[in-house]
Structure 1
Amino acid sequence: MYFPFKCHFSLVAEDLPYNTIEEIVGLCPVGVDACGSFTFICQNELTIDTFTLPAGKQLTLLSMEVARNGERLARCQMVGQNMASAEILLPLTLRGEFYECQSDRGYSLQEIMSSSRLSCRQFRNTAEKNSGSLLIFSPVYEISNVVKFPSSLEVDVQDVTEQYQDLVFITPFSMTEVASQPPESFPTMAEILDGPEGNQFFNCSWFQELQRGRQVVLHACAPTTMILASTPKGRKGKQYFIISGGYGGRMRRRAREFGSVYELYLASSQSPGLKVSVTRHCEEVEEEGMPALSVGEQLEVLRITLMDRLGDKSGAAQKVECLICKRTTEEIALPLFMTGHFVEKLSDNKKYKLTDLISSSLPLDVKVVTRDKDLEKDPLMGLPALKLEETFTENMVLTSLPTQPDWCFALPVRWLQMSLCFTSDHLPWSESPERHVETVTEVTEKFYYEYHKLVSKTEEPPPRPPKRKPSSSEVPKRPSKSESKSTKLRSAVTKQLDNLSLGETKGKRAPAPPPPEDVSMSFYSPTTTEMQNSNMNI
Structure 2
Amino acid sequence: MSGLLKIGIGGLLFTTCPSARTAMADSGVLPLQQYMASLDSARLPRILQVCSGVYFQESIYEILGNEVCFSTGDVIKVTGFELLSVSCEDVSSKETFELPINHTGLFKIVPEVRPYSTMEELVKLRPVDLQSSLPVTFTSRSKVALGEVTLGEGAVLTLLSVEDDRCRCQVRGQSEASAEAYVPLATRGEFYVCEGEECFTLREIMASPCLRSQRFRFINTTMCQRTLVLSPVFQMCGVMNLRKNVLRFSSSLEVDVVDITDVCKEVNFVSPLSLTEVHSQPEESFPVVVEVLEGPEKLPMLNCEWLRLLQKETLLIFHRKRTSAMFMMSSVKSQKSQQYFLVSKQYGGQFRRRPRGFDSAYEIHAASSSQTSGLRLLVTRNCEEVEEEGLPGLNVGEQLEVVGCQEVQLPCGQTERRSVEALVCRRLQDVDEADEDDEVFLPLYMQGHFVEVLSDNKKYKLQDLDRLFKLPLDVKAVSRDPELVADPLVGFNCLRIEGATLEPTILASLLHKPELCFEIPVQRISMSVCKTQHALPWAADQTPECRVESVTEVTDRFLYQFHKESMTSARPPPRPPKGSLSDLTTRPPKATQSTPSKKFGSLTLRSKSFSLPPPAFRPTIADKQLPATPRRYSAAQTLPARALPNTYSKQGTLVEESPEHTAEDYEQVEDLIAGILNKVQKNAAAN
- State the TM-score bracket (shorter-chain normalisation): 0.5 to 0.7
What SS is found at the alignment partner of 1:453? helix
Alpha-carbon distance in structure 1 between the residues aligned to 2:558 and 2:341: 10
The letter for the 2-side match of 1:462 is P
**1:283 counterpart (368, 379, 384):** 384
Describe the shift of the 1:174–1:119 C-alpha distance in structure 2 as closer, same or farther (beyond 3 A).
closer
Alpha-carbon distance in structure 2 between the residues aligned to 1:216 and 1:469: 62
The letter for the 2-side match of 1:116 is I
**2:482 pairs with 1:373:** yes
Q: Hey, what does 2:202 align to over in structure 1?
A: none
Alpha-carbon distance in structure 2 between the residues aligned to 1:252 and 1:448: 23
Deviations 1:132-154 (A, max 9, x none): xxxxxx9999946343379xxxx
**Cα distance, 1:200 vs structure 2:** 3.0
Alpha-carbon distance in structure 2 between the residues aligned to 1:355 and 1:189: 33
Q: Hey, what does 2:342 align to over in structure 1?
A: 242
**2:64 pairs with 1:147:** no
Deviations 1:322-367 (A, max 9, x none): 0001113122111111111111111122111110112220111111
Describe the shift of the 1:238–1:418 C-alpha distance in structure 2 as closer, same or farther (beyond 3 A).
same
**Cα distance, 1:174 vs structure 2:** 1.3
Q: Is the 8 A contact 1:247 1:354 kept in 2?
A: yes
Q: Hey, what does 1:343 align to over in structure 2?
A: 451
What SS is found at the alignment partner of 1:243? strand
The letter for the 2-side match of 1:290 is L
**Cα distance, 1:424 vs structure 2:** 2.9
Alpha-carbon distance in structure 1 between the residues aligned to 2:581 and 2:339: 46
**2:319 pairs with 1:208:** no
**1:405 counterpart (514, 519, 522):** 514
**2:527 pairs with 1:418:** yes
TM-score, normalised relative to structure 2? 0.45
Q: Is the 8 A contact 2:291 2:313 kept in 1?
A: yes
Once the two structures are superposed, the pairs formed by residues 436-451 of structure 1 within 5 Å of their partners are 436-451=547-562
Q: Is the 8 A contact 1:312 1:470 kept in 2?
A: no
Moved more, 419-428 or 393-402: 419-428
**Cα distance, 1:172 vs structure 2:** 2.1
**2:144 pairs with 1:197:** no
Q: Hey, what does 1:460 align to over in structure 2?
A: 572
Give RMSD over aligned pairs: 3.3
Deviations 1:45-70 (A, max 9, x none): xxxxxxxxxxxxxxxxxxxxxxxxxx
Q: Hey, what does 1:186 align to over in structure 2?
A: 286
Once the two structures are superposed, the pairs formed by residues 93-172 of structure 1 within 5 Å of their partners are 116=63, 143=74, 145-148=76-79, 168-172=268-272
**Cα distance, 1:444 vs structure 2:** 1.1
**2:420 pairs with 1:320:** yes
Describe the shift of the 1:149–1:423 C-alpha distance in structure 2 as closer, same or farther (beyond 3 A).
farther
Q: Is the 8 A contact 1:148 1:172 kept in 2?
A: no
**2:462 pairs with 1:354:** yes
Alpha-carbon distance in structure 2 between the residues aligned to 1:218 and 1:114: 31
Alpha-carbon distance in structure 2 between the residues aligned to 1:460 and 1:469: 19
Deviations 1:5-50 (A, max 9, x none): xxxxxxxxxxxxxxxxxxxxxxxxxxxxxxxxxxxxxxxxxxxxxx
Alpha-carbon distance in structure 2 between the residues aligned to 1:330 and 1:227: 40
Describe the shift of the 1:143–1:215 C-alpha distance in structure 2 as closer, same or farther (beyond 3 A).
farther
**2:363 pairs with 1:263:** yes
**Cα distance, 1:317 vs structure 2:** 2.6
Alpha-carbon distance in structure 2 between the residues aligned to 1:425 and 1:119: 29
How many residues of Structure 1 are paired with residues of Structure 2 in the alignment? 335
Q: Hey, what does 1:130 align to over in structure 2?
A: none
Q: Hey, what does 2:396 align to over in structure 1?
A: 295
**Cα distance, 1:413 vs structure 2:** 1.2
**Cα distance, 1:233 vs structure 2:** 2.7
Alpha-carbon distance in structure 2 between the residues aligned to 1:470 and 1:460: 22
Alpha-carbon distance in structure 2 between the residues aligned to 1:410 and 1:238: 23
The letter for the 2-side match of 1:299 is L
Deviations 1:423-447 (A, max 9, x none): 2321111211111111111111122
Once the two structures are superposed, the pairs formed by residues 47-126 of structure 1 within 5 Å of their partners are 116=63
Alpha-carbon distance in structure 2 between the residues aligned to 1:307 and 1:398: 55
The letter for the 1-side match of 2:524 is W
Q: Is the 8 A contact 1:192 1:214 kept in 2?
A: yes
Structure 1 or 2, whichever has the larger Rg, is 2
Describe the shift of the 1:368–1:452 C-alpha distance in structure 2 as closer, same or farther (beyond 3 A).
same
Q: Hey, what does 1:385 align to over in structure 2?
A: 494
What SS is found at the alignment partner of 2:79? coil
The letter for the 1-side match of 2:443 is P
Alpha-carbon distance in structure 1 between the residues aligned to 2:321 and 2:300: 23
What SS is found at the alignment partner of 2:369? helix
What SS is found at the alignment partner of 2:426? strand
**Cα distance, 1:387 vs structure 2:** 0.6
TM-score, normalised relative to structure 1? 0.57
Structure 2 alignment gaps of length 5 or more: 1-58, 82-259, 429-436, 589-687
**Cα distance, 1:279 vs structure 2:** 1.1
Q: Is the 8 A contact 1:305 1:322 kept in 2?
A: yes
Alpha-carbon distance in structure 2 between the residues aligned to 1:307 and 1:117: 64
Q: Is the 8 A contact 1:113 1:139 kept in 2?
A: no
Q: Kindly, what percent of the aligned residue pairs are identical?
A: 43
Describe the shift of the 1:351–1:306 C-alpha distance in structure 2 as closer, same or farther (beyond 3 A).
same
**2:439 pairs with 1:331:** yes
**2:536 pairs with 1:427:** yes
**Cα distance, 1:175 vs structure 2:** 1.3
Describe the shift of the 1:203–1:397 C-alpha distance in structure 2 as closer, same or farther (beyond 3 A).
same
Deviations 1:75-106 (A, max 9, x none): xxxxxxxxxxxxxxxxxxxxxxxxxxxxxxxx
**Cα distance, 1:261 vs structure 2:** 0.8
